[in-house]
Structure 1
């Protein structure tokens, strides 16, 4: 009955997830930036700016989220995102695009810890926090279902006018602001004022130290950061490889990305089932290693880029709910958003050199070789992390006592 008739907070969460799609412009975003005259290195520099700002902003915005409330942080994030998306329709200069990336990053760091913290605390208070991976995965599937439809329209809109996909996406994300007002507030953080718990900046620091610099999360977060970092860096080259190397028409990129999203939606939907079947340890071993090997394949035969791209999209959607639940299970409610934001900060730190490496190799050689180099670096990093410490030690996953 939980799956067939979701309770009200879960249903409202699904509605919110439907509005945070970038499907209208995601199939053509890199092509759009290249059309603006940017090189791969310049595009990588914008991605690095995003990563640096994430490092700087994650913990402060996570702390703000714990103070002002989860829903208020989500509202701020949706508002900033809507403005930045509309901005891409009118800004053409590199400096202007960099300013939009600043606004984009501010939006994402407000969302990064607050969304998952809101969901986990809501399930813990009203339903069952053990369902987090299931609800998070299904919410992601809702977003991806909307994204499929948006992608199909996005390719057509781009052919009419390159700015139309951004206008459509701005309208969709703007609707999320109104949806969020229907989202219930966490009782403990109803207006950012805790009932009996006062979480200060000085109290945030030991929470981060205790949770992220010691087992069980220390090596796990590093391992996950390496995986997500390579996925994000390799994603940059999906569009140029598809259009330039594989000959996919630009107008058909929406259809290709819709297929990617369909696979991602299925992977996300079954994230909870995979966790139940393989455990956190099994999933975190099998999926990343398989992805690393697949990233090397297009170097030998470019046509293998097609299955590699599907693996790239699906693996991230599969592991993200599993990774997030494992982190949540080892963090208390007080300061949860701060810790989750610190985890996102670690992800951004690892992405920095990967973005730069990919951009330099793509400009000096080809995007295909850039993807292969990222795959080789990833497998080497996995070997190093696992030789030092098991990313998931002891029991697979379980909540710690308060």
Structure 2
């Protein structure tokens, strides 16, 4: 009789360091006061929009090159570069005061995020593979997100108090946190399975994207996830506050509601690995995200239901991140893993931009609770998309093994 492998309660040293890196790689003190700082330094809302757009542009431009760089020079060095750029960007936010300088600060900080997107997942998966534990990726990444969300909740509260002294101090505190993340990244070992990848050429990277990303088993899921993440991030960025107030939540109680959302997200992340073991990716994308969409559609009739939608969306979002990471990593070979994962992250960003623009314009003409329900209802689109694909291919009964990429000339 086969005995299922248990998940060790005590993480190995590299995984423990990964937990620490996940906690310190973001900071979070600035999150409650970022827009307030820009307004305090004299920027108009139009200028703030340009600053935010500069960050989005930097993210899109850097995501695929960041994955290629990680495959070329190593995961650890790229994560160090990420933490260094975020530290520099946070420092700039804390001390500069001109429109052009804030664009530079935003671009620098967002480049740091881009150099981490996909690369940290690639480091984790390859490190677990070195230990023969790659099937635990969703479990470990979910626990890391749980720890991050708990710390983000605490640092956000602290940042709010620091902002009452000076908004710039909150950014300087974030810079101190991410500097600690840089030191932790320096101590991370380079995964053994990734050490041989420092000869990856640009032509190799292009071939990788064609081979792995364009396969139906990855492409269909990534497109579905792009629609899902695009709708959820637009909902989080624009409508949680105004829609909650519109259906009766007092403004003074919004902080408690956000604390509830953070707590739900943390708990969901903690159990994401266990859920991934019991539910297939296609089942999750079809049934669970579909159910979430139904809740938001119901909110069009009973507006207060949108509060339940916000809570469920936070849980589903966090679990989906871990399930998607496990699914994609299992179908990508070690060579060039970071390049493919960064391409996936870029696709998510491409989806989010038009959805955010459309969601914002929607709020100019209809009440926020109605607009929020419609945006949330967009998660039904990936449900329909993945459902049509399931009808064409019974891929839930297939297990596609990852194939290693052989660079040209070898």
| TM-score normalised per structure 2 | 0.85
Question: In the alignment, which residue of structure 2 is the partner of 1:16?
Answer: 21
Question: In the alignment, which residue of structure 2 is the partner of 1:182?
Answer: 187
Is the alpha carbon distance of 1:260 and 1:22 closer, same or farther for their aligned partners in structure 2, counting shifts above 3 Å?
farther
Structure 1 range deviating more: 241-250 or 336-345: 241-250
Alignment partners' CA distance in 2, 1:306 and 1:96: 38
Question: In the alignment, which residue of structure 2 is the partner of 1:67?
Answer: 72
Gaps of 5+ in 2: 1-5, 405-410
1:107-160: CA deviations, max 9, x gaps?
Answer: 112101211111111111124111111111111111112122223323333344
How many Å apart are 1:288 and its aligned residue?
1.8
1:267-291: CA deviations, max 9, x gaps?
Answer: 1111111111122222222332233
Alignment partners' CA distance in 2, 1:389 and 1:56: 33
Alignment partners' CA distance in 1, 2:322 and 2:398: 15
Pair 1:400-2:405 in alignment: no
SS in 2 for 1:236: helix
SS in 1 for 2:267: helix
Question: In the alignment, which residue of structure 2 is the partner of 1:331?
Answer: 332
Q: Given that residues 264 and 311 in structure 2 are in contact (C-alpha distance below 8 angstroms), is that contact kept between their aligned partners in structure 1?
A: yes
SS in 1 for 2:167: coil
Alignment partners' CA distance in 1, 2:301 and 2:389: 31
Alignment partners' CA distance in 2, 1:239 and 1:84: 27
The 5 A counterparts of 1:166-205 are 166-190=171-195, 194=196, 198-205=199-206
How many Å apart are 1:11 and its aligned residue?
0.8
In angstroms, what is the RMSD of aligned CA positions?
Answer: 3.0
Q: Given that residues 268 and 317 in structure 1 are in contact (C-alpha distance below 8 angstroms), is that contact kept between their aligned partners in structure 2?
A: yes
1:329-372: CA deviations, max 9, x gaps?
Answer: 11100000000011111111111211111222234445434323
| TM-score normalised per structure 1 | 0.87
Question: In the alignment, which residue of structure 2 is the partner of 1:77?
Answer: 82
SS in 1 for 2:363: helix
Gaps of 5+ in 1: none
Q: Given that residues 155 and 253 in structure 1 are in contact (C-alpha distance below 8 angstroms), is that contact kept between their aligned partners in structure 2?
A: no
Question: In the alignment, which residue of structure 2 is the partner of 1:118?
Answer: 123
- Please tell me whether Structure 1 or Structure 2 has the larger radius of gyration of its CA atoms: 2
Is the alpha carbon distance of 1:177 and 1:224 closer, same or farther for their aligned partners in structure 2, counting shifts above 3 Å?
same
Alignment partners' CA distance in 1, 2:265 and 2:275: 14
How many residues are treated as equivalent by the alignment?
396
Alignment partners' CA distance in 1, 2:384 and 2:283: 16
1:73-116: CA deviations, max 9, x gaps?
Answer: 00111111122223333455554443333212211121012111
Is the alpha carbon distance of 1:101 and 1:45 closer, same or farther for their aligned partners in structure 2, counting shifts above 3 Å?
same
The higher-RCO structure (CA 8 Å, 6+ apart) is: 1
SS in 2 for 1:331: coil
Alignment partners' CA distance in 2, 1:99 and 1:274: 41
Pair 1:142-2:144 in alignment: no
SS in 1 for 2:217: coil
Q: Given that residues 280 and 322 in structure 1 are in contact (C-alpha distance below 8 angstroms), is that contact kept between their aligned partners in structure 2?
A: yes
